[in-house]
Amino acid sequence: MVSLMQTVQSLCEQFKVPGLHFEAGQGGLTKAVVATPVASGEIYLHGAHVTSWQPAGHEPVLWMSRSSLFQPGKPIRGGVPICFPWFGPNASDPSAPAHGFARTAMWEVAEARPTAEGGISMTLQTRIDPFAVRFTVEFGSVLRMTLATELATGVSTSHRFEDALHTYFSVSDVRNISITGLEQSRYIDKLDGAAEKPATGVAIEFIGETDRVYFDSDSECHLHDPGRKRTIAISTSGSQSTVVWNPWIAKSARMPDFGDHEWPEMVCIETANVGVNAVELAPKSIHSTTVVIRVQ
């Protein structure tokens, strides 16, 4: 259960870790700020939303919209939204929020500690009935994120869920990047009536709006960005789906919390379990969806 509202003051008193402090962020929402020799970063309690990660010696890795809202009940645009307990529109309730409740829920900090390499690991938790979820983020030379889901105490039947760590990566220009590692995975093309498409056998490049759910894709993938002179390695465990998205021009213009001219700056590569890869969770078991992001 989320205990009494954690205030900036109570958090500062409870979690005294060198390189970590709490403050009121945008919209007055409480955020944790990490500043260590190995990395800096930020995470809001609203949605347990990571909004920044910058390993030492590199440029920021995550993208944030300059039009993002920071309001209770509204998702933050950019960083790493947590999609849970469903992905996309709710199959049975059109009025339910897209991508589930997690990204607009109030989470509480359960743990904060230094890591062996001098970074910081934080765990946030919340309850989204019938599930109890914990999100652990390690801000270090790599960004390691794990969403651990179990059924709340007393729930005696299995329940199905979808999840996604919907990571927005900052890129030089989406028209000049490529993604490898998904060449052998079939995918659902959400821009073609959710038609299933065969594996392409080639790297992903972007010439228009792209919205694909790759299935049975438990391999590592790489984001190649020659404009930034970097490759980002994305390795996962507990994730059978990878979602690749760029809204391009028209969809960007339709999103009020996404700048009309921001689309070249980002690409989403999302670590997920969606559709046929949804998780059926039995009582007393835990499913962990983990992604490790590394700048090469």
Decide: 189 and 208 in contact? Cβ < 8 Å. Answer: no
**Neighbouring C-beta atoms of residue 146, cutoff 10 Å:** 18
Q: Looking at 211, 225, 262, 265, which residue binds ligand TA6 (CB under 6 A)?
A: 211
Total interface residues for ligand TA6 by CB under 6 A? 11
Q: DSSP of 83-149, one letter per residue? A: EBS-SSS-SS-TTSPTTBSGGGSBPEEEEEEE-TTS-EEEEEEEEETTEEEEEEEEESSSEEEEEEE
User: Would you say 101 or 245 has its CB closer to ligand TA6?
Assistant: 245
Residues numbered 262 to 291 that lie near ligand TA6 (CB under 6 A) are 268, 270
Q: Out of 88, 100, 119, 238, name the contact with ligand TA6 by CB under 6 A.
A: 88
Query: Does 62 engage in binding with ligand TA6 (CB under 6 A)?
Result: no
Q: Are strands 286-295 and 143-151 parallel, antiparallel or unpaired?
A: antiparallel
Out of 5, 24, 96, 98, point to the residue binding ligand TA6 (CB under 6 A).
Answer: 98
120 or 268: whose CB is closer to ligand TA6?
268
270 carries an active-site annotation = yes
- Can residue 163 be called a binding residue for ligand TA6 (CB under 6 A)? no
Structure tokens at 183: 């060449």
In the complex, least distance from residue 75 CB atom to ligand TA6, rounded to whole angstroms: 6
Distance CA 21, CA 15 (A): 8
Does the annotation mark 261 as catalytic? Answer: no
Active-site entry in 46, 49, 99, 166: 166
99 part of the interface to ligand TA6, by CB under 6 A? yes
Rg (CA), the chain: 18
Q: Which is nearer to ligand TA6, 112 or 268 (CB)?
A: 268
Of 139, 177, 151, the closest CA to residue 60 belongs to: 139
Q: Residue numbers of the site for ligand TA6 (CB under 6 A)?
A: 75, 88, 98-99, 166, 190, 211, 243, 245, 268, 270
Show which residues are catalytic.
Answer: 166, 270
